[in-house]
Amino acid sequence: MKHYQHVLRVLVPDIMQVAKRRVDLLDYIAFNQPVGRRALACYFNLSERRLRTEIEQLKALDLVTVDKKGIWLSELSQQLLTQIDVIFDMSEQLNHKALQLCQLFNISTCRVVPGDSDKYAEVYQKLAQAITEELDHVLPEGENIIAITGGSTLSQVIPNLSSSLAQGRDFKVVPARGGGIGSPTIQANTLSHDLAAIVDGDAMTLFVPEQLSQSLYESLLKDPLVNETVQLLKNANCLIYSIGNAEVLAERRGVSAKEKKIIQEEKAVGEAIGVFFDAQGRIVHRLARIGLGLEDLYHLPCEVLVVGGAKKAKALTAYMKLAPQQTILVVDEALANSILKETSL
């Protein structure tokens, strides 16, 4: 395959570039069909004239159809997209990057999906597909208790997980933390219900603020409903979570001015599971909260960490110094490239 690619590049130098551009167009149409020309032109930063030419060429090749609703994939292009990774050697490249990250972070499982979730929303669907495949591989048949955190990444990923996970399995889905400030759509309680609906499971709700005083913490643990949810959390066999940049999440968590000062002075670069950490992986601040803590992760049979976008490279690299070895890491290619570039300097 590589020999044939080399011959084609010599004969037609721009062949792979043209093919890759067409694949990107077809990939976007696949996730958003029917899609209008204007939306496509805007997304790929092309003039409408240039895009019209591209679509006409795809149409002539019987790769797309066009009607009043917009542009659709043809049956032929749907078949081609399932084989295209082999043609471009994409799978081999991505698997190599995943192996490099496994070695760098001392973990056994990593998946790298093509694209950049900061730029292309459909990359979240690819992240979700990879998570579905990994969960289907590691989750046992029968009863499963899945814990889930909130956040903008998971709010994009969870709705795209597959209901196929429910085959042979019964699920309870539990929020790994209480509610915080910000949009309800990114809260752990909301996402636990979203996931439960997908896998036809039961969702629990944790009716507590994300941050607590010590006295309120002790009082809430005595509440029967809160205590029941916490006990389920302690028995969870899988966690799905993400991480974020320290400053962004300090704001989202609504930390006090005193806490924010500590986070800034200690040069925190990221936050996960209620802990803020610096570039060396040193914990610099903990949030007082009810839910799973970092130490709980070491006792979980399965935990899936999903992160996207190159801007989280520093946070992820630092966090992986704290992460358990059984971490299943799922990232996009933009993030993988950024990390591997930094570590090779």
Last residue of a domain, one of 82, 99, 131: 82
Alpha carbon distance 134, 91 (integer Å)? 16
Q: What angle (nearest 5°) sits at the alpha carbon of residue 132, between those of residues 130 and 136?
A: 120
Per-residue pLDDT, 167:
94
Q: Give the bridge partners for 285, in sequence order.
A: 276
Tokens 């970092």 belong to residue: 294
- For the chain, count helices (H), then strands (E): 17, 13
Answer yes or no: do 69 and 105 share one domain: no
161-218 pLDDT, tens digit each: 999 999 999 999 999 887 665 677 888 899 999 999 999 999 988 876 655 555 565 6
H or E stretch covering 147: strand 142-148
Higher pLDDT, 21 or 109: 109
pLDDT category at 303 given cuts 50, 70, 90 is very high
For residue 57, the enclosing domain spans 2-82
Last residue of a domain, one of 18, 52, 82: 82
Answer yes or no: do 72 and 212 share one domain: no
pLDDT category at 90 given cuts 50, 70, 90 is low
Answer yes or no: do 223 and 206 share one domain: yes
Last residue of a domain, one of 60, 82, 104: 82
Domain harbouring 65, CATH code: 1.10.10.10
119-173 pLDDT, tens digit each: 888 889 999 999 999 999 999 999 999 999 989 999 999 999 999 999 999 999 9
Answer yes or no: do 239 and 254 share one domain: yes
pLDDT category at 98 given cuts 50, 70, 90 is very high
Answer yes or no: do 193 and 261 share one domain: yes
36-76 pLDDT, tens digit each: 988 888 888 888 888 899 999 999 999 999 998 999 998 88
Local structure of 113: helix, strand or coil: strand
The token pair that represents 302 in the structure block: 């399965």
217-264 pLDDT, tens digit each: 566 666 777 778 888 888 999 999 999 898 878 777 777 788 888 888
Answer yes or no: do 269 and 325 share one domain: yes
Answer yes or no: do 112 and 169 share one domain: yes
Task: From 292, 307, 334, 328, select the one nearest 148 (Cα to Cα).
Answer: 292
Q: What angle (nearest 5°) sits at the alpha carbon of residue 185, between those of residues 194 and 316?
A: 90
DSSP string, 181-243: SS-GGGSHHHHHHHHHHHTT-EE----SBSS--HHHHHHHHTSHHHHHHHHHHHT-SEEEE--
Answer yes or no: do 94 and 29 share one domain: no
Answer yes or no: do 274 and 213 share one domain: yes
Q: What is the mean pLDDT of the chain?
A: 86
The token pair that represents 24 in the structure block: 């990107």
Between 250-264, 270-284, 290-304, the lowest mean confidence (pLDDT) is in 250-264
Answer yes or no: do 152 and 288 share one domain: yes
Q: How many independent structural domains does the chain possess? A: 2
Answer yes or no: do 184 and 247 share one domain: yes
Domain harbouring 221, CATH code: 3.40.50.1360
Answer yes or no: do 43 and 176 share one domain: no
Report, in angstroms and rounded to the nearest whole number, the Rg of the chain calculated over CA atoms: 22
